Amino acid sequence: MGGRVTDAVFRPGSVAVVGASSNVDSPGHDYVRSLVDFGFRGPLYPINPRAAEIAGLRAYPSLSAVPGEVEYVISCIPADGVLALIDESRAKGVRTLHLFTGRFGETGKAEAAALERAVKERAAAAGIRIIGPNCMGVYDASHGMAFRPDLPREPGDVAFISQSGNNSVELMLHGAARGLRFSKVVSYGNALDLSEADFLDYLADDAATRVVGAYIEGTADGRRLFDALRRCARAKPVVVLKGGRTGAGSRTAASHTAALAGRRQVWSAVLRQAGAVEVDTFDELIDMLVAFAFLRDAQQTADNGQQTTDKRPTGDGRASVGVVGGGGGRAVQSADVCEEAGLRVPKLPEAIRATLREKAPDLADWVDNPVDQSILAGSGVSGARVLELMLANPEFDALIANVGEDWVLGRPDAAERMAHLVDRFAAIGRQAGKPLAFVLGPADSPDETKWRAVEGGRQRLTDARLAVYPSVDRAAVAVARFVAHGTSTIG
């Protein structure tokens, strides 16, 4: 059990790209370019029978022609050349073969499925591990491994395993925009040899990985997957988007990665029992990875020595949330979506009102939780100040701060105002001993100045490793699930 994925899979000493190409618009070019750009340190060999040089590197006509050792091969050649490539790889002492090459079992054709089985047997006989086929392969920026030049250069602590190549790219790019950075990512396609269970086993023990996300379409061994999920989820949060939950989705998964998708209810039960967090959409997947990467959890809070004695009145068992920022409409919406997400939205505690009364006696009995920013306007009390009071008050288990409504963006000095506001919030966020989510955006303005103001503000928050959501409803759901997860696993 376990041990089938080793560091050699993510951090090989040498790499050859078979089917490397000078065509900048081809995968055979992308792989070479990515490894060069990410600074892969070991020897890197483009293999192409008709090119002398690719991406500035000397190219070789065949794997056998490479002078040195080759530990890891990336294959971009057509499927019918793969058996011969395995023979050549065996002769060369290759340990891992990543097959970007597709058109195997997923085509639904008997001869392609037979070829896939032959590939599996031949590789097993040669002692070569297979990643794929039909996938993007491996990313580990700390080792210079990447499958696209535009992926984040700096490594992080979130891992992602994906049966879909495109999903792996989209998760990394849209996740990066939310501040996520990655320890290891693998797009593993048809999972002919190394499977989701193998990667989960590896990530459970990977010291560089603190949070794990997964896009899984199906499995060949439900029991092994359950065990690997449970082991991994005991070590760190695991968020799973299951593709092929429905009849149509399952049929589509079969033609995508030849996966046996299985029933939704079975999967949901398996994920729940394994302690993983199940999500239904790509947005939710990113939202929960952001939550686990950036929200402080109750354990940390306890470790910080805060609130261990002064425990809030638990009431009905729901976690209670405080919300600041935004005008009256946003305050009402915030209250609705938080309560609908399962959070309690208590009234502003008297202790906080008493503090507010000193500076703003007229407003102290009017302003409430969620805090309507427009009530505070001109009072000398800022939303950020109320947020600080809420963070210090035991009534609140978690906080949400709406930042930079469109009103700010309409001001002539929007970018500076936004930066000033965000910096104040970011300073509070860095100190927060409770889960604190920020709402900013979406950065969807066709107006470049506004886009820059929102995007710049978001980057200031994510640079401070804070959780940012594009809407208060998405923040509310993420905070509620984050808090519930902490309770169920720690409590």
Q: Restricting to residues 276-315, which ones interact with a copy of itself according to CB under 8 A? A: 280-283
Query: Which residue's CB is nearer to a copy of itself, number 162 or number 195?
Result: 162
Query: Which residue's CB is nearer to a copy of itself, number 368 or number 423?
Result: 368
Q: Least CB distance from residue 126 to a copy of itself, whole Å?
A: 28
Binding mask 451-470 for a copy of itself (x = CB under 8 A): x---x--xx----------x
Q: Least CB distance from residue 362 to a copy of itself, whole Å?
A: 8
Query: Which residue's CB is nearer to a copy of itself, number 137 or number 370?
Result: 370
Query: Which residue's CB is nearer to a copy of itself, number 204 or number 253?
Result: 253
Query: Which residue's CB is nearer to a copy of itself, number 63 or number 82?
Result: 82
186 binds a copy of itself (CB under 8 A): no
**Contacting a copy of itself (CB under 8 A), which of 41, 117, 234, 251?**
251
Query: Which residue's CB is nearer to a copy of itself, number 32 or number 177?
Result: 177
Q: Least CB distance from residue 382 to a copy of itself, whole Å?
A: 16
Q: Least CB distance from residue 222 to a copy of itself, whole Å?
A: 19
**Contacting a copy of itself (CB under 8 A), which of 18, 176, 232, 239?**
176
**Contacting a copy of itself (CB under 8 A), which of 407, 430, 487, 490?**
407
Q: Least CB distance from residue 332 to a copy of itself, whole Å?
A: 4
Number of residues engaging a copy of itself in binding (CB under 8 A): 89
E strands in 262-391:
277-279, 321-324
Binding mask 355-394 for a copy of itself (x = CB under 8 A): ----------xxxx-x-x-xx-------------------
Q: Least CB distance from residue 113 to a copy of itself, whole Å?
A: 12
The H or E element spanning position 131 is: strand 129-131
Q: Tell which positions 413-452 bind a copy of itself, by CB under 8 A.
A: 441-447, 451
**Contacting a copy of itself (CB under 8 A), which of 71, 88, 106, 395?**
106
β-bridge partners, 55:
none
Query: Which residue's CB is nearer to a copy of itself, number 347 or number 420?
Result: 347
Q: Least CB distance from residue 446 to a copy of itself, whole Å?
A: 6
Q: Least CB distance from residue 78 to a copy of itself, whole Å?
A: 11
Closest residue by Cα to residue 365 from 380, 378, 354:
354
Q: How far apart are CA 19 and CA 104, in angstroms?
A: 18
24 binds a copy of itself (CB under 8 A): yes
Q: How far apart are CA 345 and CA 155, in angstroms?
A: 37
Closest residue by Cα to residue 479 from 342, 353, 325:
342
Give Cβ neighbours of residue 480 (< 8 Å, ≥ 6 apart): 319, 338, 341, 342, 343
Closest residue by Cα to residue 76 from 36, 116, 41, 32:
32
Buried b / exposed e over 299-333, threshold 16 CB at 10 Å, is eebeeeeebeeeebeeeeebbbbbbbbbbeebbeb
Applying CB under 8 A, which part among 3-11, 42-50, 86-94, 322-330 lies near a copy of itself?
A: 322-330
Query: Which residue's CB is nearer to a copy of itself, number 276 or number 343?
Result: 343
Q: Least CB distance from residue 200 to a copy of itself, whole Å?
A: 18
- What is the distance of C-alpha 381 from the center of its chain? 37
Q: Tell which positions 54-93 bind a copy of itself, by CB under 8 A.
A: none
The answer to whether 327 touches 373, Cβ cutoff 8 Å, is yes
Closest residue by Cα to residue 310 from 449, 165, 433:
433
Q: SS3 for 271? A: helix
- Angle at the Cα of 105 (from 101 to 106), degrees rounded to 5? 80
411 binds a copy of itself (CB under 8 A): yes
182 binds a copy of itself (CB under 8 A): no
Query: Which residue's CB is nearer to a copy of itself, number 14 or number 333?
Result: 333
Closest residue by Cα to residue 477 from 371, 369, 340:
340
The answer to whether 464 touches 325, Cβ cutoff 8 Å, is no
CA-to-CA separations, 165 to 8, 82, 172, in angstroms, rounded: 21, 20, 11
DSSP string, 393-448: STT-SEEEEE---HHHHTSTTHHHHHHHHHHHHHHHHHH-SS-EEEE------SSH
The secondary structure of residue 141, as a DSSP letter, is G
